[in-house]
Structure 1
């Protein structure tokens, strides 16, 4: 079946709240054309600002958020009004070139006089006799998906779903708690990671540098995505829990403690151990040791936290999502001991 592109698209409502760990929530407003304002995905909790992607990166390179999905779009009368005014424009939309004529006639028949195809039943007068009893669903492109072919892979014509009913099984990409969980994951905003160091900022060659993060850094982070329309209300919440800190010295001329560079979280939800006077000759439980001077520059130490992420959703749904990672770089100057003893 040919691609159908609405000139007034089914918007994803990419307008999440702003601030980390907050309970703010924003949703897209109506646009005066009969589109349900509530038919947009809303985000709340710790989510990225301005509708952009969050700063969490999946540890599984094979996992990606959905590039598109099907979601409630318009009631019967509003859909008829849109199609009646813009039917020719729809056929000239991207992906429909060369389908004018017979295809236009078939599309009109599909929604006007029950003309259908295999697994795609037609409709009588746009289902206006069922207005208020359901909605037409349409494809939504994920604006954060960089591949236009992937974004356009949901290419089915708009279809009807009765209130309280699930979309037909053939529409595997129909919006669901699991898809909402993936979108919440994509927009989740994690706190910045800057490890405390001793010595701080400037250290010496072969001197153990202690690294730690206080328990206050490791509060759980939650983000929620929801979709609420008449007869169809679902949501999903992702929860990220920090489980480890990885240190990357920024040079091969360094040792890490432990050798893997991965410092596990302690029982009190902290990581590592703060340096205290008298521990200069001890091996830090979490830290590093530079073996060569950084010269006139500095090394870029990267501290990355691994977050264990799961989700819960409407109807008792839930499960695990790939671990997420997020880290920051901080400059470390390494000096030769002799240079400071002259």
Structure 2
């Protein structure tokens, strides 16, 4: 969630520091001597590095106190000689985390048969998987002042889970493995032995049926999504389709 990365050349850093130097109230110009005793490493080979945070991760609030404490050991600003990156330098793993945060997963392409507003008690509901899903990948890259790194996260759909949204269903949930075909990852739920049947009508209400795809997420240390997966593993991804279903009870007449 935090690292250090190059930001300014010596000349650029000097200009940045000059912007905060005290001004002469009469002329509005920078007071002489503002840079006395300061070494900006002008003419040296290297760069000024700054501590950097994964802002979205901080905003999420899902940060352990121990992780925040680790960030305090990284210098806020430091001069780094060319070819000598510090231990906490930006890395492909840090970029993988940024790419992971930008990964958008499509909702499961499903259609209910019978339709959501015309479900019947004890009639199995076929959750049709309408179209294959493709892998999703995002590349994050850092290329500045001699540091050129990239990482790519790759999300692969591996499983479909259907939840009826009520205990008045048999079964309440169905799970299917997705398999890879010529056009993507697919499952033929019509041939599966797990199709939900509602056991009680919704009256004037509805049940929140949910279909959820689980995505296995890996990453490579390059811009190539087909590169060798690296460690550690990234958390699995989830994408969800939810639809309210109305279940009717059909009365039969015996003669």
| TM-score, normalising length: structure 2 | 0.77
1:298 is aligned to 2:213 = no
Match of 2:18 among 57, 65, 84: 84
Residue by residue, what CA displacement relative to the aligned partner does 1:29-84 show, whole Å, maximum 9, x if unpaired?
Answer: xxxxxxxxxxxxxxxxxxxxxxxxxxxxxxxxxxxxx2x33222111121122223
CA displacement at 1:158 relative to structure 2: 0.7
1:281 alignment counterpart: none
1:138 partnered with 2:57 = no
Q: Residue deviations 1:190-225, cap 9 Å, x none?
A: 112242221121211111111131452x11111110
What is residue 154 of structure 1 aligned with on the other side?
A: 71
Q: Aligned residue for 2:25?
A: none
Q: Does 1:204 align with 2:204?
A: no
Please give the per-residue CA displacement for 1:125-163, whole angstroms capped at 9, x wherever unaligned: 121121xx3221112232322249877963422112334
Please say which of residues 154-163 and 244-253 is displaced more in the overlay.
154-163
Matches within 5 A, 1:39-54: none
- CA 1:274/1:262 → structure 2, altered by over 3 Å: closer, same or farther? closer
Matched with 2:28 is: none
User: Where do 5+ consecutive residues of structure 1 fail to align?
Assistant: 1-65, 89-107, 113-124, 276-283
User: Quick check: 1:254 aligned with 2:162?
Assistant: no
CA distance, structure 1, for counterparts of residue 10 and residue 229 of structure 2: 30
For 1:317 and 1:74, how far apart are their aligned partners in 2? 33
Q: What aligned pairs does 1:151-190 form with structure 2 within 5 A after superposition?
A: 154-155=71-72, 156-167=75-86, 169=87, 171=88, 174-190=89-105
Using the alignment, how far apart are the partners of 2:240 and 2:175 within structure 1?
13
Q: Which has a greater percent of strand?
A: 2
2:244 to 325, 331, 338: 331
Q: How many equivalent pairs are there?
A: 225
Question: For residues 337 and 81 of structure 1, what CA distance do their matches in structure 2 show?
Answer: 79
Contact 2:10 2:42 in 1 (8 A): yes
Shift of 1:297: 1.8
* Displacement after TM superposition at 1:230 (Å): 2.6
Q: Counterparts of 1:152 and 1:82 in 2: how far apart (Å)?
A: 28
C-alpha offsets along residues 85-132 of structure 1, whole Å, 9 cap, x if unaligned? 3268xxxxxxxxxxxxxxxxxxx89x82xxxxxxxxxxxx121121xx
Q: Aligned partners of 2:80, 2:91: CA distance in 1, in Å?
A: 14
Question: Distance in 1 between the 2:170 and 2:111 partners?
Answer: 18
- 1:253-332 pair list within 5 angstroms: 253-256=168-171, 261-266=174-179, 268=181, 269-274=185-190, 284-314=192-222, 318-319=230-231, 320-332=233-245
Output the CA distance in 1 between the equivalents of 2:149 and 2:194: 43
Residue 126 (str. 1) matches residue 40 (str. 2): yes
The 3 A distance-change label for structure 1 pair 134 and 286 is farther
